């Protein structure tokens, strides 16, 4: 799609101006007209400096540098809230107006069905695909998502007000009412401390995830299913079976213990109870509505037999369910207060079938008696919620590092005097584990007293063993390398008494691990016992974050692509259904970007109707925080998975592979020469970004590093990417990419590269993401951080990075034959431009705060708050951070 007319953005700009004006009035009322004048002066100067006015830029920086400590928090807060309100206006614009199809794709499923209709047996293909499709969106906690839940609810209320005010049919009184409400909400936000005072616990993070589900996804899922059904009926002239449910939601919040000592077995158990409790509360609301609505007296013989002769048989059954739900909520309340409290499971709503069976009987009864329209109302919505969420709301994944499992066997075998597990070869480990898996006697002695670390792993497996299969998702093994890593977890679960088969999922993260992933899975599948155990299904997780941190985006991306291709081939040889779990983050450097484009760029055969994808922190809020936005996001996911399954992308041509191998190798050397081999890199990184400060601030439950004494290699991928986004250099998302393209051009592949952009979704997506990264990167801002925070002897290193960035931009523009970045996605470009006048002062304030706080050993509370606000503000402005 080409340029949109300027008028396309008029409604967006109008709402940004409206919200900015209301915020200005609020600030003026609170802190006086002089404060607002100064804020407005800074904003105008920032805008002028963006137009190339160096005098304006210098004046802005001088004013900000001279702010007294007591004015820092209000000024930072002002620009932070301008950005949050701009985000709200953009979210509203996205769900209420047609924008760039590459971002919004207004009717992706409708468009797909239209294209598929001409195919032979199209209806059968689509229906089979929908019946088989499993899209599991896994919500994960995020150390950079620092917006409080109370503010997120107010942001959602603002969008509701904008929606009402946007209506042409609103009368004067209604307009006044909602205009006043808008002012109230902005005022409430301004007078609310938007930053957490304490580091959130894992239970806090899990509660945040449930909140997103409750305020948005609970409504969005049935809404989306109605849209899907309507589009299916429109194109194929038949109703979608009520059993179709392509969506699932899982969570890592309260289950991801990799490097997080605060996620314990007790925390996991508490989160599982809270998930059940919230589900019961939500279903209770549904049942209350159904009691009110289903007042009919005509029922099937089966219904009458179940409830007896009554004038309102549906209400009789619903009231019974309501009583059990209330009992369930009360029992879980007691259990959360007192671990020793009994759970009378038989009297509670404990399994999904406890609700599904009676509600399905009611549905069938209504249909049988000619009341299909009523059956397909709220009752069908509830049945679809049960199909998607069950009575556990979110399936909880467990994640742990492979080394922690090896530690269990190292200690245990030493205690049993059976050997030194860690010194054994892979063959010895596999032989031992397989023998024990088939041995009927227990391996772990009842009275053994292991170390605290080992006990925690054993306690976790016992919590897993006590759950129903529907409560839990997969057991993910970080840093998995060998088949023994998987067999070890299966044995631990067996020893804990787990009666059902939990998917044990190796996560291949580093470049070497990705390169050897298919060999590892092939070795596993050669084991007869293991193939029998998994019953024809294997899940594998592909790590985007750590592989990109290890090798740079181009080399990591190509390794991820090839690993998927090889895994598909291996599983096909063994007749095993493969599900790929994509560990994508928000940033481009961690696999982020539009989900629709990302799914369609996967290797052919790698989706095949099944996919799991992580969504993190602020990206959950941006994609799923509002019902209408969530509907759009779910439609993008569903259409991409169906298209990738029915119309898979082309196989890469041999010449394309040759070019990618060249680019991957060039990119890897260029990336590692800077990150691993340049002696100035680590020092520059720690001066030029707020990486050290990020570790000290209460942003998330998980420590920033896997080891307290570790260096860059132990730094987690989220703070690694996040730190570089704060100074706008965005280094992890582009370093090495420009060198790779330049080398391919130098070797005469420019025409091939241009064909790859046009014909290969994988390469097109990669270049599109690179284009966005370059557009968001600002060397002028990065140089300001450098000038104020970095010792002069390191400035030459910073200049080399800036030169690499500029050179990479020029190389990419030449490849895509464009004079400006993002020419084909004007909506995204406009989105960035809207924020810059508010972002620039925040960057300057952050630099000032870093300079002040680094002069003292202990951070002043007000300066710490101001610094956190700048971090939150830049995160809000950049949108795909972390």
Q: Domain count of the chain?
A: 1
Residue matched to tokens 């936005």: 629
Catalytic residue among 77, 142, 392, 632: 142
Give a yes or no: residue 816 inside a domain.
Answer: no
Using the predicted structure, report yes or no on whether residue 697 has a pLDDT greater than 90: no
> In whole numbers, what is the pLDDT of the chain averaged over residues?
90
Question: Would you say 260 and 702 are in contact if contact means Cβ atoms under 8 Å apart?
Answer: yes
Kindly state the tokens that stand for 320.
Answer: 């019974």
Give a yes or no: residue 533 inside a domain.
Answer: yes
Q: State the pTM of this model.
A: 0.91
Using the predicted structure, report yes or no on whether residue 829 has a pLDDT greater than 80: no
Task: Tell me, yes or no, if 142 is annotated catalytic.
Answer: yes
Q: Report pLDDT for 733.
A: 92
- Full residue range of the structural domain in which residue 510 is found: 395-490+499-593
Give a yes or no: residue 573 inside a domain.
Answer: yes
Task: Write out pLDDT tens, residues 560-611.
Answer: 999 999 999 999 999 999 999 998 754 444 444 577 888 899 999 999 999 9
Q: Which of 440, 446, 472 is nearest to 458 (CA)?
A: 446
Helix/strand/coil (H/E/C) assignment for every residue in 214-273: HHHHHHHHHHHHHHHHHHHHHHHCCCCCCCCCCEEEEECCCCECCCCCCCCHHHHHHHHH
Give a yes or no: residue 220 inside a domain.
Answer: no
Task: Write out pLDDT tens, residues 524-559.
Answer: 999 999 999 999 999 999 988 788 888 999 999 999
Task: Tell me, yes or no, if 516 is annotated catalytic.
Answer: no
Rounded to whole angstroms, the Cα distance separating 595 from 136 reads 13
Question: Would you say 81 and 872 are in contact if contact means Cβ atoms under 8 Å apart?
Answer: no
Give a yes or no: residue 577 inside a domain.
Answer: yes
Rounded to whole angstroms, the Cα distance separating 510 from 782 reads 28
Rounded to whole angstroms, the Cα distance separating 522 from 526 reads 6
Give a yes or no: residue 708 inside a domain.
Answer: no
Q: Which of 123, 369, 380, 135 is nearest to 243 (CA)?
A: 380
Give a yes or no: residue 419 inside a domain.
Answer: yes
Task: Write out pLDDT tens, residues 707-753.
Answer: 544 445 545 556 788 889 999 999 999 999 999 999 999 999 999 99
Residue matched to tokens 């309260």: 254
Task: Write out pLDDT tens, residues 660-696.
Answer: 999 999 999 999 999 999 999 999 999 999 988 887 6
Catalytic residue among 429, 549, 623, 628: 549
Residue 543 bridge partners (DSSP): 583
Spell out the residues 6+ positions from residue 629 whose beta carbon is closer than 8 angstroms to its own: 91, 94, 95, 216, 622, 623
Rounded to whole angstroms, the Cα distance separating 93 from 9 reads 9
Kindly state the tokens that stand for 122.
Answer: 């199209």
Q: Name the band, by pLDDT with cuts 50, 70 and 90, for residue 344.
A: very high
Give a yes or no: residue 23 inside a domain.
Answer: no
Rounded to whole angstroms, the Cα distance separating 853 from 867 reads 9
């Amino acid at each position: 799609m080409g340029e949109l007319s300027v008028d396309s953005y008029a409604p967006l700009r109008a709402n940004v101006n409206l919200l900015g004006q209301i915020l200005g009035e609020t600030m003026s009322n609170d802190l006086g007209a002089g404060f607002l004048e100064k804020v407005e002066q800074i904003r105008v100067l920032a805008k002028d400096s963006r137009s190339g006015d160096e005098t304006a830029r210098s004046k802005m920086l001088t004013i900000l540098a001279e702010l007294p400590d007591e004015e820092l928090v209000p000024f930072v807060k002002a620009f932070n809230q301008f950005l949050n309100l701009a985000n709200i206006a953009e979210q509203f614009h996205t769900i209420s107006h047609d924008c760039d199809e590459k971002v919004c794709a207004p009717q992706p499923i409708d468009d797909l069905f239209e294209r598929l209709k001409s195919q032979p047996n199209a209806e059968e293909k689509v229906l089979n695909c929908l019946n088989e499709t499993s899209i599991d969106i896994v919500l994960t906690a995020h150390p950079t998502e620092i917006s409080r839940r109370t503010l997120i609810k107010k942001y959602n209320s603002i969008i509701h007000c904008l929606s009402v005010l946007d209506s042409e049919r609103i009368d004067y009184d209604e307009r006044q009412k909602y205009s006043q409400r808008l002012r109230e909400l902005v005022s409430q936000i301004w007078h609310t401390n938007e930053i957490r005072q304490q580091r959130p616990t894992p239970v806090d993070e899990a509660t945040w995830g449930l909140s997103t589900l409750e305020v948005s996804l609970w409504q969005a899922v049935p809404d989306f299913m109605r849209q899907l059904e309507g589009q299916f009926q429109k194109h194929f002239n038949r109703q979608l079976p009520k059993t179709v449910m392509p969506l699932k939601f899982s969570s890592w919040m309260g289950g991801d213990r990799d490097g997080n000592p605060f996620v314990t077995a007790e925390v996991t158990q508490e989160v599982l109870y809270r998930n059940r409790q919230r589900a019961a509360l939500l279903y209770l609301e549904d049942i209350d509505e159904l009691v009110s609505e289903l007042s009919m007296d005509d029922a099937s013989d089966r219904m009458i037999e179940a409830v007896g002769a009554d004038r309102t048989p549906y209400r009789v059954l619903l009231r019974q369910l309501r009583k059990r739900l209330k009992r369930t909520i009360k029992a879980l309340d007691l259990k959360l207060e007192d671990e020793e409290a009994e759970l009378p499971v038989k009297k509670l709503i404990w399994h999904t079938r406890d609700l599904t069976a009676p509600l399905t009987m009611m549905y069938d009864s209504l249909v049988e008696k000619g009341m299909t329209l009523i059956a397909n109302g709220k009752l069908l919505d509830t049945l679809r919620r049960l199909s998607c969420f069950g009575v556990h709301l979110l399936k909880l994944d467990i994640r742990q590092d492979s080394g922690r499992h090896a530690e269990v066997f190292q200690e245990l075998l030493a205690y049993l005097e059976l050997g030194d597990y860690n010194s054994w070869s892979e063959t010895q480990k596999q032989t031992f584990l397989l023998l024990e898996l088939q041995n009927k006697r227990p391996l772990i002695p009842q009275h053994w007293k292991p170390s605290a670390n080992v006990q925690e792993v054993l306690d976790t497996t016992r919590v897993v063993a006590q759950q129903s299969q529907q409560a839990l998702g997969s057991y993910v093994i970080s840093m998995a390398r060998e088949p023994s890593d998987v067999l070890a977890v299966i044995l631990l679960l067996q020893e804990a008494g787990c009666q059902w088969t939990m998917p044990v999922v190796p996560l291949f993260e580093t470049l070497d691990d990705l390169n050897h992933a298919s060999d590892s899975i092939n070795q596993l599948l050669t084991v007869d016992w293991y193939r029998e155990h998994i019953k024809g299904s294997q899940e594998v997780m592909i790590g985007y974050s750590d592989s990109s941190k290890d090798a740079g985006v181009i080399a990591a991306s190509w390794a991820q692509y090839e690993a998927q291709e090889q895994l598909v081939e291996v599983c096909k040889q063994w007749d095993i259904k493969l599900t790929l779990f994509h560990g994508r983050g928000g940033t481009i450097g961690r696999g982020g970007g539009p989900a629709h484009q990302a799914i369609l760029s996967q290797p052919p055969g790698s989706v095949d109707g099944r996919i799991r994808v992580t969504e993190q922190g602020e990206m959950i809020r941006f994609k799923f925080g509002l019902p209408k936005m969530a509907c759009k996001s779910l439609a993008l996911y569903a259409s991409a998975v169906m298209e990738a399954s029915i119309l898979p992308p082309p196989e890469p041509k041999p010449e394309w592979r040759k070019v990618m191998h060249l680019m991957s190798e060039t990119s890897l050397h260029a990336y590692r020469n800077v990150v691993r081999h340049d002696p100035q890199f680590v020092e520059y990184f720690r001066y030029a970004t707020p990486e050290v400060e990020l570790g000290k601030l209460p942003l998330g439950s998980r420590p920033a590093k896997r080891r307290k004494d570790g260096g860059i290699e132990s730094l987690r991928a989220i703070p690694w990417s996040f730190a570089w986004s704060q100074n706008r250099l965005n280094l992890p998302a582009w370093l090495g990419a420009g060198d790779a393209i330049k080398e391919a051009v130098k070797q005469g592949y420019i025409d091939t590269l241009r064909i790859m952009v046009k014909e290969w979704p994988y390469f097109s997506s990669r270049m599109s993401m690179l284009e966005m990264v370059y557009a968001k990167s600002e060397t002028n801002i990065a140089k300001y951080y450098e000038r104020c925070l970095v010792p002069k002897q390191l400035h030459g290193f910073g200049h080399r990075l800036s030169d690499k960035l500029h050179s990479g931009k020029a190389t990419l523009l030449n490849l895509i034959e464009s004079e400006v970045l993002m020419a084909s996605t004007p909506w995204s470009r406009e989105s960035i431009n809207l924020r810059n006048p508010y972002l620039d002062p925040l960057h300057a304030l952050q630099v000032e705060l870093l300079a002040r706080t680094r002069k003292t050993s202990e951070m002043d509370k007000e300066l710490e708050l101001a610094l956190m606000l700048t971090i939150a503000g830049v995160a809000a402005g950049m949108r795909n951070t972390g």
